[in-house]
Amino acid sequence: MPGNGNWLSRSAYLPINRRHVRSGHLWGIEVGTDFWLTLNPGYDAAQAGSATDPRAIYALAEVGWTATSLVNTAGSGGDFGSSADKGTPNHFLTDLSGDLLESPALFGIWDHMEAARQIAGMAALPRYLVAEFMGAMTVHTADEPRSGWGFVEDGGSVATEADQIAFISTDGTNFQISANAGTPVNGAADDANWHLFKIALDRIDLVSRWYIDGTLQAGTPAITADEAPYSFGFHALTTNRPALGLTHVYYDW
């Protein structure tokens, strides 16, 4: 409170206030603490298509995203609310080399994190930038560090290995994480199943950690300096075929 020149942060007496940006087409024009991308197989032209569609207000490519030749695919086969049988979620599938989705470059730079701090009523900037997403490597037979999901540096491309900030892929045997064309570090054995992946960039330790279905994996790539703001996306190269479902990018303390 005012009086002696000090202010009591709202975080001293209130829980964190979170603001959710609930649609991908709003990521680049709204601030918040949480950013969601949900896939709708019946709305393909409006999400991954071009401005020629009359529903282009929702077209990701019209609001700073890059969306190249994605197959908007319906989910199926899950048990009701079951984590043991997740089934196949609604998702974007890659079926050709060069298929990709990449968000606007927004995350991890001071002003975007400061907005999140003020919204949350916290005294300090967020410590973590996190991406949690449903993903499956539907084809996983090749060693392709450019086929996968992750954060990308400012002005970079999710298709370029040297632009990776933290990127999950597979070597044909194991899931792996790498950054800026560095040597990938292997995690769990790969497969074609759907998993909940998580990448957490740590502002204090300046490393990235990654999780598969809640389990911490080996490898903590260093976060390269002078490369924010970051985008999030996924990409397919020659052989491997990643798919992307429900995605949540958020700041945390």
pLDDT tens digits, 100-130: 999 999 999 999 999 999 999 999 999 999 9
The three-class DSSP label of residue 196 is: strand
What is the residue whose two structure tokens read 């900030």? 165
CA atoms within 13 A on the CB side of 244: 31
> In the block, which residue shows the tokens 């990409």?
235
Q: Are 180 and 162 in contact (CB under 8 A)?
A: yes
pLDDT score for 56: 58
Residue 88: which residues within 8 A CB-CB, separation 6 or more? Answer: 73, 75, 76, 77, 78, 136, 194
Q: Which residue has the tokens 């002005």?
A: 155
Q: Please tell me the pTM assigned to this model.
A: 0.91
Residue 193: the pLDDT is 96
CB contact at 8 A, 89 and 134: yes
Cis peptide before 41 (omega within 30 of 0): no
14-25 mean pLDDT: 89
Q: Report pLDDT for 84.
A: 87
Q: What is the pLDDT of residue 7?
A: 58
Specify whether the backbone of 28 is left (phi greater than 0), alpha (psi in -120 to 50) or beta.
alpha
CATH of 93-252, one of 3.30.56.10, 3.40.50.300, 2.60.120.200, 3.50.50.60: 2.60.120.200
pLDDT of residue 60: 86
pLDDT score at 2: 43
- 8 A C-beta contact, residue 251 and residue 243: no
Paired tokens of 100: 């990709």
Q: CA 175 to CA 189: how far, in whole Å?
A: 6
Domain spans of the chain, in order of start: 93-252
Confidence (pLDDT) at 71: 87
Instruction: Give the residue among 89, 170, 87, 174 at the shortest CA–CA distance from 132.
Output: 89
Q: Measure the CA–CA gap between 203 and 15, rounded to whole angstroms.
A: 22
Question: Biggest alpha carbon distance in the chain?
Answer: 65
Beta carbons of 191 and 204 less than 8 angstroms apart: no
